[in-house]
């Protein structure tokens, strides 16, 4: 039996998650019981009449900070049965470590992920102290809150779950899994507006096609993301090809 990943999302805007989780791979994965994704309204964990979730920062300064009490209550409720070694509590914040494919792979092996969507100026630091949250950013830019960052993480993780994609090998050759960017792809017609699909892709020689694809992936990575080549697992033939590409350009 396949394991189910439970994703809980803590947010003051649960409505944001309605439509994005109802399409394609995520929808199918939910229907197949591979994943559950549950947005929780942080205001449901307040005890005051006005469901207040934020307050001014101690020491003065701009903006509002998310209060500790609703987040503590929510996390206690969501994690009281969790196995710490199989779960992760992640705070989405631009101050976090950058989200990568390798982190997505690690998360896809867990049983529970709790995503806390930060808002305003941040959340009370005592949440991090007590729940040892992993702070994660989706990139070096600031968006209005963690909700869209949470959606990015959910999508990247769910598609890696066993049986989430139709074909078993679908994620193996894509960008970042191999450490390189993808090679260019073509479909019919073979000639469109005078532009022809490379001959090698039409000749059916699988060895030549694999070589061409590897060379194009290396070329593209060298041109657009040379930083990736430092970490990519490269063979001797790859290094020779890179030298040739550099000579030619
Ligand atoms: N909240 C605001 N900006 C963010 C970012 N870049 N990543 C994650 N959460 C955020």
pLDDT of residue 1: 65
In a domain? residue 49: yes
Predicted TM-score of the model (pTM): 0.93
Q: How far is CA 91 from the centre of its chain?
A: 14
For the chain, give the percent of residues with pLDDT over 70. Answer: 97
DSSP, collapsed to helix, strand or coil, labels residue 131 as helix
Q: Indicate if ligand 1 lies below 6 Å from the C-beta of 92.
A: yes
The H or E element that residue 128 is part of is: helix 126-131
Residue 16 C-alpha from the chain's centroid: 17
* Contact status, residue 34 vs residue 163, Cβ threshold 8 Å: yes
Give CA–CA dist 132/124, Å, rounded. 13
* 11 Cβ below 6 A of ligand 1: no
Burial string for 103-121 (b: 16+ CB within 10 Å, else e) reads bbeebbebebbbbbbbbbe
Q: Is residue 35 part of a domain?
A: yes
Q: Ligand 1, atom 9: nearest CA belongs to which residue?
A: 93
**Are 91 and 192 found together in one domain?**
no
Identify the burial level of 142 via C-beta atoms within 10 angstroms of its C-beta, where 0-12 means exposed, 13-18 middle and 19 or more buried.
exposed
Band of pLDDT at residue 83, cut at 50, 70 and 90: very high
With beta carbons less than 8 A apart as the criterion, state whether 10 and 115 touch.
yes
Check if 94 has its Cβ closer than 6 Å to any atom of ligand 1: yes
Q: 217: domain range?
A: 175-248
86 and 206 housed in the same domain = no
Ligand 1 centroid from CA 196, angstroms: 42
Quick check: CB of 172 below 6 Å from ligand 1? no
| CB 141 less than 6 A from any atom of ligand 1 | yes
Nearest residue to 38 (alpha-carbon basis) of 124, 150, 182: 150
Our mutation pick for probing the ligand 1 site, out of 142, 148, 156, counting the most ligand atoms within 8 A of Cβ, is 142
Which atom of ligand 1 is least distant from the CA of 145? 1
23-50 pLDDT tens trace:
999 999 999 999 999 999 999 999 999 9
Whether 148 is in a domain gets the answer: yes
Q: Whose CA is nearest to atom 7 of ligand 1?
A: 137
Residue 115 per-residue DSSP state = E
N residues, the chain: 249
Confidence of residue 199 (pLDDT cuts 50, 70, 90): very high
What is the per-residue pLDDT for 121?
A: 85
CATH at 184: 1.10.1270.20
What pLDDT does 105 receive?
97
Residue 172: predicted pLDDT: 63
């Amino acid at each position: 039996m396949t394991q189910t990943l439970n994703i809980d999302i803590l947010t003051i805007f649960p409505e944001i998650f309605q439509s994005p989780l109802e399409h394609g791979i995520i929808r199918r994965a939910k229907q197949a019981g591979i994943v559950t994704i549950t947005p929780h309204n942080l205001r449901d964990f307040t005890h005051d009449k006005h469901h207040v979730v934020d307050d001014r920062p101690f020491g003065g300064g701009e903006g509002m900070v998310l209060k500790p009490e609703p987040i503590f209550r929510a996390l206690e409720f969501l994690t009281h049965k969790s196995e710490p070694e199989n779960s992760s509590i992640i705070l989405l914040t631009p101050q976090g470590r950058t989200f990568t494919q390798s982190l997505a792979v690690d998360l896809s092996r867990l049983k529970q992920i709790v995503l806390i969507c930060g808002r305003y100026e941040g959340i009370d630091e005592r949440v991090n102290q007590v729940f040892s949250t992993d702070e994660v950013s989706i990139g070096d830019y600031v968006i209005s809150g963690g909700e869209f960052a949470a959606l990015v993480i959910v999508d990247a993780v769910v598609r890696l779950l066993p049986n989430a994609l139709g074909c078993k090998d679908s994620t193996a050759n894509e960008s970042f899994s191999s450490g390189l960017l993808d090679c260019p792809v073509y479909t019919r017609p073979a000639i469109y507006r005078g532009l022809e699909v490379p001959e090698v892709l039409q000749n059916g020689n699988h060895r030549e096609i694999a070589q061409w694809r590897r060379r194009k992936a290396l070329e593209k990575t060298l041109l657009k993301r040379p930083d990736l080549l430092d970490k990519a697992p490269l063979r001797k033939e790859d290094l020779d090809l890179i030298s040739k590409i550099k000579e030619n350009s």
